[in-house]
Amino acid sequence: MMIFYFLFMIPLVFLLNFFHFYQFILVISMFLFLSNNFFDFFGGLFYCFGIDFYSFFLIFLCLLISCYMLMSVFFLSNLSFFIFLIFFLCFILVLVFSCMNFFMFYIFFEFSLIPMILLIFGWGYQPERLSSGFYLFFYTLFASLPLLILIIYLYLNFNFLFLGFFYSININFVINFVMIFSFLVKFPMFMVHFWLPKAHVQAPVFGSMILAGIMLKLGGYGLIRFMFMFDYYFLIYGYIWYSITIYGCFIVGMICLIQGDSKCLIAYSSISHMGLCLLGFLSLCNLGILSSYLMMISHGFCSSGLFYLCNIIYLRTQSRSFYINKGLMTFMPGMTFLLFLLCLFNMSCPPSINFLSEVFIMYSIIKYWHMSMYFFFFISFLSSCFSFFLYFYSQYGQFCFIYSFSNVYLVEYLLMFIHIIFIFLFIFICPLMYF
């Protein structure tokens, strides 16, 4: 239903030039999707597609972030082509999260790169967007081609590529590396993360929202699927990726404290939080996997809201630098409280869903390796530090401009509010997810 819905609505973009109609289409599709119950093993089965528990909330997040992207646009050139890219990207991501065939999953997984690069190239800020697009393209290309070879190898040996099947192949670190390296780049794991800050800084606000909200979750979703198919590989070689990630979270937390660009700081904080998700997955604990999945969803709302608020400040002061954007409490007092809430959620304070997921991740990684407790203490402390750094350096201090006024639009308040309210609402979904 969802696939044909988007397939027939995409051509309408070039026939009907009515902006709010497309927002209404996405909202209706979201409510139609939520009316179904896909909490069984696989539901809505037809041909090579189906939705289960791990797909359900990611598709919901995809539809919701697409609505946010449309709301974030005021004046834009080539509006019809932009709406077409949003619908097309949303269509591709729904296909990725609902594929049951390994090869089709790989095709749509890589095909989602094309609309993202077009968004960066078409509406990016500086000429450096060309180099950031090439970073994104070549990192994804070189990491994913070995995965295609593995898919061909599996098909030649087993003659089918069902995602829920347990494949028994020879134990080999090279196969394990090929298997998950493409997803670690999408996550991204420390040492293959260099494309992310460049892509975020040069992308427009709607590009950063979809990149932080959805594109980073593709790696986590692929990792979940592989963990259920090749669990023995993760049991044997998981400690290698675990060691790199727990060291990387600590280093990236310190890198955040020396950033002068607010968008760079939010991008590096995404790497730190996705590293925590990866630690939860690699712990091979049922509670760790579910809490990492929950953190991916909460991070999609929190990080998207931070990028949008950063863009609100950029549109007023024409700068993202902490050295210029000081004393914003006197400039936009209405946004100060919203930024305070988002920074609290970014550092995983209660009553947010981030707090619950981080507590369960802490339990799972300590259960995996007891010395993780000391690393987790420093990672959590640094996360608090760079969240306070983002808030205090931007809101307090001497304001650089002559006059002071608040000119935040109502739609911007609305968009920030619905970012925050969903972080609260997922508290009520937690009992269903864990129990």
Amino acid at site 394: S
pTM: 0.93
| Tokens read off for 421 | 């309210």
Taking only the tens place, the pLDDT of each residue in 305-314 is 999 999 888 8
- Greatest Cα-to-Cα distance within the chain, rounded to the nearest angstrom: 71
Taking only the tens place, the pLDDT of each residue in 381-398 is 998 898 988 998 888 877
User: Cα separation of 281 and 286, whole Å?
Assistant: 9
Nearest to 112 by CA among 137, 129, 76: 137
| CB-based contact 356:433 (threshold 8 Å) | no
| CB-based contact 429:56 (threshold 8 Å) | no
The mean pLDDT of the chain is 85
| CB-based contact 96:218 (threshold 8 Å) | yes
pLDDT bracket for residue 165 (50, 70, 90): confident
pLDDT bracket for residue 278 (50, 70, 90): very high
Ramachandran angles phi, psi of 46, nearest 5°: -160, 135
pLDDT bracket for residue 39 (50, 70, 90): low
SS3 for 261? strand
pLDDT bracket for residue 33 (50, 70, 90): confident
User: Cα separation of 349 and 223, whole Å?
Assistant: 27
Amino acid at site 93: L
Amino acid at site 223: L
Instruction: List, in order, residues 6 or more apart from 192 with CB less than 8 Å away.
Output: 139, 143, 181, 184, 185
| Tokens read off for 87 | 């619908």
User: Is pLDDT of 177 > 70?
Assistant: yes
Residue 212 is given by DSSP the state: I
Helix 353-368, helix 372-395: angle, nearest 10: 150
147 burial type by CB count under 10 A (0-12 exposed, 13-18 middle, 19+ buried)? buried
Nearest to 219 by CA among 307, 96, 53: 96
Q: CA-based angle 163:173:371, to the nearest 5?
A: 95
SS3 for 50? strand
Taking only the tens place, the pLDDT of each residue in 91-150 is 999 999 988 888 999 999 999 889 988 888 888 877 778 888 888 888 888 888 899 998
pLDDT of residue 159: 83
pLDDT of residue 252: 92
User: Is pLDDT of 187 > 90?
Assistant: no
pLDDT of residue 5: 80
Taking only the tens place, the pLDDT of each residue in 62-74 is 998 988 888 887 6
How distant, in Å, are the alpha carbons of 134, 385, 429 from that of 298? 29, 20, 12
pLDDT bracket for residue 353 (50, 70, 90): confident
Torsion of CA 240, 243, 246, 252, to 10 degrees: -90
Amino acid at site 125: Y
pLDDT bracket for residue 247 (50, 70, 90): very high
SS3 for 99? strand
